[in-house]
Structure 1
Amino acid sequence: MNAPLAATLTDKRELSPDTALFSIQLEEGASQALSAFIPGQFVQLSVPGGGEVPISPADVPTAGGKLDLCVRRVGHVTELLHSARTGTRLGIRGPFGTGFPIEEMAGRPVLLLAGGLGIAPLRSLLFHLLRHQEQFGQVTLMYGARQPKLMLFREELAELAGKSALRLFLTVDFAPELPTGNFSCTVGLLPDLLKGFSFDAGRSYAAVCGPPPMYRCLMQELEEAGLPPERILVSLERRMRCGVGRCCHCAIGQKLCCTDGPVFRLSDLKGIPEAL
């Protein structure tokens, strides 16, 4: 197992009461290693005194070595990260796992479906598609959250939709308060956005990431719309722990999420009852 490479926490932006976007400056060795990153892959982030945690970068690392990680406070390691100050030394290993088949998706329309924190792994794919817009077809993002204040990157997404060819659809389970800022959303579940939505299922790819209860409904809607299961890409990063296939915590049948995934084709998960 490779030793963690050095990185430094340079900025932290609160996105919701328990989630923040951390900007990390990679040192030369880590920057070189992560230059091979493909959207959908993950890194192992180590925090002094806490240990390691697998995180899917929220964007492709820049040429200057800047890496964005969207992290929810859910345990000891992430609690330490949220409490860390600018300048804290961190460790990075990776990239690990399989990413989205970018080259195969070239020239095709892409539909991204994100629920809750699932927007984080899809953000790196979204940014790649928009930065290389001439290489892909229409890009559509459907994003659902429990309520407006828990919707991550909402202002950023609204700005992207206003300046690019991105088609953006936002929804919340319920709205106890009116949305603020320059964005609007419907009230309903994410699968409801797909009902009656017209897209070229014969050519499109779909990328999906979100909480476990969301997957079955979305898979059914996508297949009923005519999208072949081999072009439905599912990120299951939530299942990982060690990140290198040793603890088997992320086993899905005979597959390991951290080495065979975290991005799977739906066709590869057929017949595995516990997969979704």
Structure 2
Amino acid sequence: MKSLSSTLPDSPSKYRGPVTGLMWFKRYSTLLKVLPWLSLFFAVGSYQFWLGFDYNSNDTTNIYLRLARGSAYLLLLILAVMWLPVMRKSITVLRCSRWGRCLPLDQAKVCHRWLGHLLIVAALLHGSQYLLYYDTLEIPFKEALLAEEADLVRSMRTNMYEFVSEDESIDVMQEWIAAGAQQNEFESKIKPILKEDCTKCHNRTSTMTYAIPNMPLSHYEDVLAFVDKGISSRQFRINMSGLSMLFILLIVWLSSLQWVRIHLYHRFQQLHRLGYALALLALLHITTLQWIVFPLLVLVIELYCSRVRQRYTNCVAHALRVNEQVVCLTIERPKALALLPGHYVQLRIPALSAHEWHSFSLTGIRNDQRRLVLKISCVGDWTKRLQQMVTNAESTKLGVDVRGPYASPAAHAPASNHWLLIAGGIGITPFLSLLRECKRDPNRRGMLHLVWVIREPELLQWLRPLIERLLAIAAVDCHWHIYLTADTGDLSLLRKSFSRGASLQVQHGRPNWQQLTSDIGRSGYQPHCFICGPKGLSKEAGDACRRMGWPVRKESF
């Protein structure tokens, strides 16, 4: 058997090669992609916060109101962009385009999580400061919160007070509303006051800094929209929808924390759907809807493509245990569903749960293209319930729903000829489609190193036919590095099961990542690294590859 070291020239084991400018760029390519967008968001966010904070209407304006307004303007920006990183179809389109190389798409979920943290901070600041502001007004806190005073009167007492010439005008307005807001009295008593104090600012041509130009108050019908109080008033709707949104946001945020996602993933998915309720409440709460028009349009297109156009229901599937930890699911492929390298699908099994969707990598094009084959590691509640449904002796027939395909970070791999694929256990799955692409294209030239850390040797036997076919392709310089973490005894029989002369190493233990990447680096290639596995393995391997100046992409969907 030929090992990796025998194919490389002699040199020190700690060799890393010169750190050139290009290597430095590749090492920090992820950071260089993120920084411009992070800087842009910080700049726009700071500007938005200042627009709201820089407000001084009258004597009732204080630090509480300014902080509340500043955080409100920041919230508009966060709400406009936080959904974009998790739109699977949109990200798939970008990954397959030239623009995808310039965007930090691999950090999309990380961006979404941090935007979620920032959203809850801004929402808490916004809500708490408005409540403190209401407590500083002359009217009782309860009256301000429940809008027991008509919207027009409240505005004249508070943020518009300095533009009202006399307190008597507020009294006249309050008496007119209390008497039923009759139209004949509007023409004689109210319209002159509005003309003098309000309509000079609130009109469609106003340039006043704090005026709302789309709030004309020159006609009786316009004014009627602001004379309600209590539950029918505009302010009550804004206050109550805001408190409801804050409560729901806290629930969604708490259910999105890492512990819940790991141990109670189904609860995370269920509670995350409260986002739709948040969207409806936002329509009641936000007074300037132009901020959400574009994100809403993108969201509608995304939902149509993902939930309607690329959704296939009632597909026939057969489940079979590979071993105690892995289930193989074979699905009759819908004709419209394309098998693309580096892509994944979402799967729902109604017999297990009517609402849970889970993502699984496609294993690529096989001889029988009528089938989708998914390898599922049984580590969570949903997968363990699936395992319990499957008997040891024979396959179990199931009905499944499928969405996709969607591009994962591995979808970028075909653009390169030199790969370093690092997998932990069933993490080999997203790379199988890439390996099968090599098998289908024997003229493809390049270098391939695959490092696979597994516990059960049965997984290696499962892939033995594919490994041997790949090793037989002369055009691809193919090297396999297999590490068995469990003590399975003598490995000689396992090695003999493969063809002689194959560039394949099978050994006990875990990789020495610095040693391994240094050995690969001595070959002179600059591979693109793709990693899929547990967090510890991904971090160690990713750090070692970055030290070599190699670009790294991690599978995370």
| Same-fold status (TM-score > 0.5) | yes
SS of aligned partner of 2:443? helix
Tell me which residue corresponds to 1:198: 520
Match of 2:3 in 1: none
Report the residue type matching 2:437 in the other structure: H
With over 3 angstroms needed to count, the CA separation of the structure-2 counterparts of 1:62 and 1:74, relative to structure 1, is same
What is the distance in 2 between the residues matched to 1:71 and 1:48? Answer: 17
Counterpart residue number, 2:450? 141
Q: Post-superposition shift, 1:177?
A: 2.8
Pairing partner for 1:125 from 434, 438, 446? 434
Counterpart residue identity of residue 316, structure 2: T
Moved more, 94-103 or 195-204: 195-204
Q: Give distance in 1, aligned partners of 2:459 and 2:372.
A: 23
The gaps in structure 2 that reach 5 residues or longer are 1-302, 499-504
Residue 81 and residue 201 in structure 1: after superposition, are their counterparts in 2 closer, same or farther (change >3 A)?
farther
| Structure 2 residue aligned with 1:18 | 325
C-alpha distance in structure 2 between counterparts of 1:147 and 1:89, whole Å: 29
Matches of 2:529 and 2:462 in 1, distance apart? 20
Higher helix share: 2
* 8 Å CA contact 2:332, 2:372 repeated in 1: yes
Query: Hey, what's the Cα distance between the residues in 1 that align with 2:430 and 2:343?
Result: 8
SS of the equivalent of 2:405 reads strand
Match of 1:40 among 338, 342, 350: 342
Report the residue type matching 2:441 in the other structure: H
Q: Which amino acid aligns with 1:56?
A: S
Would the aligned equivalents of 2:452 and 2:481 in 1 still touch at CA under 8 Å?
yes
Q: 1:162 to 1:101 in 2, by over 3 A?
A: closer
1:142 & 1:188 partners in 2: Cα distance? 13
**Cα distance between partner residues in 2 of 1:142 and 1:112:** 6
Give 1 or 2: higher strand fraction.
Answer: 1
Q: Which residue of structure 1 aligns with residue 506 of structure 2?
A: 185
Is 2:372 aligned against 1:72? no
Question: What is the alpha-carbon distance in structure 1 between the residues aligned to residue 408 and residue 455 of structure 2?
Answer: 29
Question: What is the deviation of 1:102?
Answer: 4.2
Give the secondary structure class of the aligned counterpart of 2:469: helix
Quote the residue 2:553 is aligned against: 233
CA drift at 1:64? 3.7
Deviation at 1:93, TM superposition (A): 0.9
Number of aligned residues? 226
With over 3 angstroms needed to count, the CA separation of the structure-2 counterparts of 1:214 and 1:40, relative to structure 1, is same
Shift of 1:205: 1.5
Structure 1 runs not aligned, ≥5 long? 238-276
Greater displacement, 63-72 / 193-202: 193-202
In structure 2, the residue matched to 1:208 is 531
Does 2:482 align with 1:170?
Answer: yes
CA contact (8 A) 1:9 1:87 kept: yes
| Equivalent residue in structure 1 for 2:335, among 31, 34, 54 | 31
- Secondary structure of residue in 1 paired with 2:446: coil
- 2:378 counterpart letter in structure 1: R
Task: Give 1:153's aligned amino acid.
Answer: W
Task: State the alpha-carbon separation in 1 of the partners of residues 459 and 367 from structure 2.
Answer: 27
The CA deviation string for residues 169-223 of structure 1, in whole angstroms up to 9 with x for no partner, is 2112242433454156112313446244234565421211111101222122212
| Conserved 8 A contact 1:8-1:90 | yes
**How do 1:54-69 residues align onto structure 2 when only pairs under 5 Å count?**
54-60=359-365, 64-69=369-374
TM-score after normalising by structure 2: 0.37
Task: Say whether the 8 Å CA contact 1:40–1:235 is kept in structure 2.
Answer: no
Q: Could you say what secondary structure the match of 1:71 adopts?
A: strand
User: For 1:216 and 1:75, how far apart are their aligned partners in 2?
Assistant: 22
For normalisation by structure 1, the TM-score amounts to 0.69
Percent of matched pairs sharing the same residue: 20
Match of 2:454, as an amino acid?
A
Q: State the one-letter code of the partner of 2:446.
A: G
Q: Please state whether the residue corresponding to 1:160 is helix, strand or coil.
A: helix
- State the alpha-carbon separation in 2 of the partners of residues 61 and 76 from structure 1: 30
Q: CA deviation at 1:92?
A: 0.8
Map of 1:94 onto structure 2: 404
Post-superposition CA distance 1:17-70 (Å, at most 9, x none): 2102222112xxx331x21x4333321111122233221122247774311100
Tell me whether 1:104 sits opposite 2:415 in the alignment. yes
2:223 maps to 1:223 = no
Aligned residue in 1 for 2:20? none
Alpha-carbon distance between aligned partners in 2 of 1:220 and 1:77, rounded to the nearest angstrom: 32
Work out whether residues 350 and 400 of structure 2, in 8 Å CA contact, stay in contact via their aligned partners in 1. yes
Q: 1:195 to 1:187 in 2, by over 3 A?
A: farther
Question: Which region of structure 1 is more displaced relative to structure 2, 139-148 or 56-65?
Answer: 56-65
Match of 1:265 in 2: none
SS across alignment from 1:45:
strand
How far, CA to CA, are the matches of 1:75 and 1:234 in structure 2?
Answer: 21
Query: Which piece of structure 1 moves more, 63-72 or 192-201?
Result: 192-201
Residue type of the partner of 1:221?
A
Cα distance, 1:137 vs structure 2: 1.0
Deviations 1:96-137 (A, max 9, x none): 2444214522xx221211111211111122212332242341
Q: 1:208 to 1:191 in 2, by over 3 A?
A: farther
Distance in 2 separating the partners of 1:176 and 1:101: 36
